[in-house]
Amino acid sequence: MRLAAPRDPIAWFRAWFREASRRETRLPEAMSLATAGRGGGPSTRMVLLKGVAERGFEFFTNRRSSKAAEISRNGRVALLFHWKSLDRQVRIEGRAVALGAAECDRYWATRPRGSQIGAWASDQSRPLSSRAALERKYRALAARFAEGPVPRPAHWGGYRVVPARIEFWQGRKNRLHDRIEFRRVRGRWSARRLQP
């Protein structure tokens, strides 16, 4: 089956993501996030997709982390999904924008309690004297928040990557892969097929 170029890359992504969610054995929502580090060099790490809509692709993190500092200096980022079981990947380029407090609170409320406490315990990307120190801090915070809901820390929140470019790649025999690129031009998506 060859790739056709539908008009809506977000709908196409959702269809591929649904299939990956059925076929991938672990974390089909894992995506590589590339940012520009100090001096403009590339910096990349894995994060988890937590929402996708016409407006973009959402993830959440500590806003004091290295990735958040890099986004604040240069909001241009790239995402990469790779689904090995399907021999597919999706590349996304765009601008990361911070989500508002209400959106962050809504997602925070869905997180497991242990992950909420972990977000308080970790000064993400900062040096750590020992694993034991981190575990002591976690236990102290678990005791502090033993009753009632765990509030969202002010330094924890989400970003939406607003796409300007999305490329779908499907592996094929003899390296004659299918590649379809979408670019947003004056608010509308334009598609073209690329050489493998």
Which one-letter amino acid corresponds to residue 134?
A: L
Clarify whether 152 is annotated catalytic.
Answer: no
* Per-residue pLDDT band at 36 (split at 50, 70, 90): very high
pLDDT on residue 134: 96
Residue pair 196/181 in contact (Cβ under 8 Å)? The answer is no
What's the CA gap between 19 and 97, in Å, rounded? 28
Condensed to tens digits (0 to 9), the pLDDT of residues 38-71 reads: 888 999 999 999 999 989 999 999 999 999 999 9
| Rg from Cα positions in the chain | 19
What's the CA gap between 120 and 103, in Å, rounded? 19
Condensed to tens digits (0 to 9), the pLDDT of residues 121-167 reads: 999 989 999 999 999 999 999 999 999 999 999 999 999 999 999 99
Class of domain 9-111+154-193: mainly beta
Residue pair 14/20 in contact (Cβ under 8 Å)? The answer is no
- The distance of Cα 81 from the centroid of its chain, to the nearest Å, equals 9
State the chain's maximal CA–CA distance in angstroms. Answer: 60
Condensed to tens digits (0 to 9), the pLDDT of residues 96-124 reads: 999 999 999 999 999 999 999 999 999 99
Which of the residues 2, 175, 186, 188 is marked catalytic? 175
What's the CA gap between 23 and 25, in Å, rounded? 6
Which one-letter amino acid corresponds to residue 53?
A: A
What's the CA gap between 114 and 138, in Å, rounded? 9
pTM: 0.91
Condensed to tens digits (0 to 9), the pLDDT of residues 77-88 reads: 999 999 999 999
The dihedral built from the CA positions of residue 139, 144, 147 and 152, taken in this order, carries a sign that is negative
